Structure 1
Amino acid sequence: MTQQEFAEIASTIPTQPGIYKYYDAANELLYVGKAKHLRKRVSSYFSKTFTSYKTHELVQRIHHIEFTIVNSEQDAFLLENTLIKEFQPKFNINLKDDKSYPFIVIKKEPFPRVFFTRRRINDGSKYFGPYTSVVKVKELLDFIKQNILLRTCKLNLTDSNIKKGKFKVCLEYHLGNCKGPCEGLQTEEDYNEELNQLANLLKGNLSSVVQHFKKEMKDHAERMEFEKAQIYQKKIEHLLSYQSKSTVVNTSIGKVDAFSILEDGNIAYINYLAVSNGAIVQTKTIILEKKLEETAAEVLAFGIAQLRSTFGSDATELIVPFEIDYPETDIIITVPKGGDKKKLLDLSEKNVNYFKEDLRKKKMLNLEEKTADEKLEVLVQLQKDLQLPDIPVHIECFDNSNFQGSYPVSAMVCFLNGQPAKAEYRRYKVKTVTGINDFASMAEVVYRRYKRLIDEGKSLPQLVIIDGGKGQLSAAMQSIATLRGQDGSKPSAPNHPSSAGSLTVQNRLDSLTVIGLAKNEEEIFFPGDTQSIKLPWDSESLKLIRRIRDEVHNHGITFHRNLRSKGTFKNELEQVKGIGDATIDLLLKEFRSVKNIKLATVDELEKIIGKAKTKILTDYFKQT
């Protein structure tokens, strides 16, 4: 929509508060916005020059505009958030985490059950939550079970069913976890009182629950029921212990919501702490993606509305790091400078910073999600940890694979600039080795790989990882030494120009560092060293090495599986009539090669496959 086209409809735009919706020519919703004066707000998009390319692009795509008039700025604010959450227009702030959360429900039924659910049904039941962690919900339910006596069965406890004596108390009654409403041993009034205490506990109002238990304890003591009184005393101690652990600020603060925000480019992280009577009863950090030129205050206000809606907050005070325009009525906005509320805000900021840093560390395990700077950071750290002469921007890793001690193959993977370069992956059928010999197999494939790179004038890696211990590493170094011995001090492959083309083979191989990685302990060996080194288990360097190792494992196993499924592997045993695949697998698993099977005694063979099949096999060997 051009400025001239907009000018023709400007006078028709309402001047009341409301929301506006921008659509493109295909009638796709592009953007939803709120305004206390619709005409002024919408006109601003067509009367000023935007520095943001995205905003300029939005205006260019607008084909037509729709409006919804509401009674107040607050209503416009709430409607905007609802529409954004429902339709997720491409130019609005994007909530990147919008999954469903669990609830604790008090079911609407006689003697209501209390349980965990993800489905919220409008059947009159009471729902508490949502909660951000299933583990925490289950911990809370366990805590409730220890302190509030409620039934856990699914019986239909109508008054008529109870009077007819249809049910008998179960083990939970005898364990003291239920008062037996199924046999009429507990009145509905008494059961509802337990539910009231449950509701107080879920709302964080533990003092009311403690006072109720104190009254019960006193009543039992007055009736000389000291064992029952002692049970309530232990519950009180349990609750007070729970309260002392959960209280983080002064209990006089009451019910408040604390929010903090951390911006990183077009991504914003918002942390939410719901506090009731000094205890944190809910916590969540969300990620928002800014699309236009939204300020931190606008993003925070949007995030607050989303979080309060998701978690059903009715707190009337918001603690925030700076002033925001939050039009919801009867809400107090507090920007604390000191005291308990400032401590709460500091705690929220601590959480949002931890969340961002934790997310960054987790991304290190998946290099494709990293920025170029993050990838380089890991490689520099790896260079430092292994004391490499150069940053290992080119890494290769080798691994041998076999099936039940037979059919040897090898695989190689290549990582360039910290990420897989799958076009450079290689698979090798071992050619020069008879039987299973990991060391000889490793020597063969390492020689073949770098002989080819040298002949073709291609660059060699800065780091080679041999998946195995000292034996495999020594075998690989023998191949490197053989290649060095072939150096005639002539330029390598002059017809294949490369960055390494003018260097001798000796010089090129000298720039290559080879290490061995022990399979179980993740120890790293250097050639000639008697002692291994161990990197910290959570270091970014070891995480990268682990990923490369896992990649070469998967590459080799996939190759091996494909060859077996295609019938590429053939051996002499398959020619023996009366000897099936299952028997062959047993023999190879035990003896590891056909050669060893031929050398085995009759007694050794009979222990594995029995007399009949042993005779078939030995008769075949005698004829060949």
Structure 2
Amino acid sequence: MSDFDIKSFLTTLTQRAGVYRMYAADDELLYVGKAKNLKNRVSSYFRARGLNAKTVALVSHIHHIEVTVTASEAEALLLEQTLIKQHRPQYNILLKDDKSYPYLHLSDHNYPLLAYRRGKKRKSGRYFGPYPNATAVRESLNYLQRLFLLRNCEDSYFNHRSRPCLQYEIKRCSAPCVGHISQQGYDDSVRQATLFLQGKAAELLRELQQTMMAASEALEFERAAALRDQIELLRQIQEKQFVDSGQGEADVWAMTDWQNVLCIHRLVFRQGRLLASKNYYPRNPAGDDDTELLAGFIAQFYLADHAQEGVPKEVVAELPAETMEPITEALRLSIGRRVSHSRGQRGQNRKWLVMAQENARTGAQAQVSGRQESARKLEEVKQLLHLSDAPARIECFDISHAQGEATYASCVVYGAEGLMKDRYRRFSIRDVAAGDDYAALEQATRRHLTRLKEQDDLPGLLLIDGGKGQVARVAEVLEELAISTVALFGISKGETRKSGWEFLWEAGAATPIMPEAHNEGFRLLQWVRDEAHRFAITGHRKARAKSRSQSDLESLEGVGPKRRKELLLYFGSLRNMRGAPKEELEKVPGISKKLAEQIFIQLHGE
């Protein structure tokens, strides 16, 4: 394999659902895959043993990997199939396509058959479709068989059964062939399946929820449990697919500046289907602001004919109208038609813009995680702090509590491979007065440094989220432990409390260091401090919920007993809630878009 640093790449790879694309050194697309958990799936290609010869051959040619984060695994599946059909990568399974569209067919028998069909409508009965993606239809049919238990066997098999087949045993059929379900019961299942296929899933969901509640009140707990499982299956297959919404022709642009790495991400939608996504890493030698840089990039991209999919009808970018007007006018003169602009403030465009922003952040994080980039930034820290050597490892401490309750200290680590999450530590603070951050910090650093000194594994730089007083307290710990090889600095916000205006405090110094806001070493220290703060908050929230004998669901802010009941009724369990996209949370009665976003953030610790 080339010099692709997979270990560094995996350190910041998300565990969300999405699509990954593996490229060769000449940018040839080798393989496209989808994953429910991107980090786990991509990691599996690089394990030490257990790979077959074909996978080893694929891995040996990988030069770099790109990912696109989606809201659910179903959306990832749709995008994967679109990219495979468009690019036909050599390591993917390629099926011949006769260009006939797939349908779902419900026959007109006494006990109707639900089956997958292609081509002309030769058989009598009802057809639903056509659908654009055969793989997605087959997966949906699999869900439908589990959901409604309709038969999937042809007449030649159905008419000669004397006992149930394997489909009944694995709960994929209600066995009407041998009378295990009444005609009325089967007709009811057909009616429910028809409702779903007609797009009336919300109506069907309400019906099933009411039936489940009635069964529970009648003490029919087995039936209520079966209905609960049916509701969960229904919810999974009716998730709103904004990767394949069936309408809209737009290019969606987003940009992020993360640790001085600029990443611009472009999503390409045609007829509502996501056809492509790509990261760009432009340089900014003139020091343009974000608005000027993104607008200039978009203009150059279209006017220099870099859009392989053509110029869309609409460009979605969070840019002012007056900035985009010259660009859209130039495009009108160039291609002879009008191109509209949307800031992505509402509706479908808003969801697409959020997806692009998330992928831009993911791309920037992947870029930063490389070892060379990390080593360069550590060298910048050395120059900023006037250290004799670049620190091999930075460890940063922060304290978090809620009015003195559930005090936690966090320690996050940054090294040559970027964030070293396997070395993260949390310290539950005991026997310290409520709100005494100095004592909490002293206890945590003493416990941590004592262990590292015994292991001869001390960091090069110890960073404290705090000012002169906190640094002085930790300096006493270092002196007590006779540790002289660790540089100690604190980072504190100035009077304005704004990011970029922080001070750096060295132990024993009377005045702080005030770096330039755009100094790369300074920005790295800010980012590590922010990561320590996030990690500490997560720890104290979990501790607070546990101390109050609450479940994770009960600890959600803004969710009272009534809304908890609605959430559990809709999803069935907290696990299902965590696996659902934000758009699904918005469908729960009593949950607004704003509250859905707050719940999503709390469930995922973001």
Question: So what's the TM-score if we normalise by structure 1?
Answer: 0.33
Structure of higher RCO (CA pairs closer than 8 Å, 6+ residues apart): 2
Question: So what's the TM-score if we normalise by structure 2?
Answer: 0.34
Structure with greater Cα Rg: 1
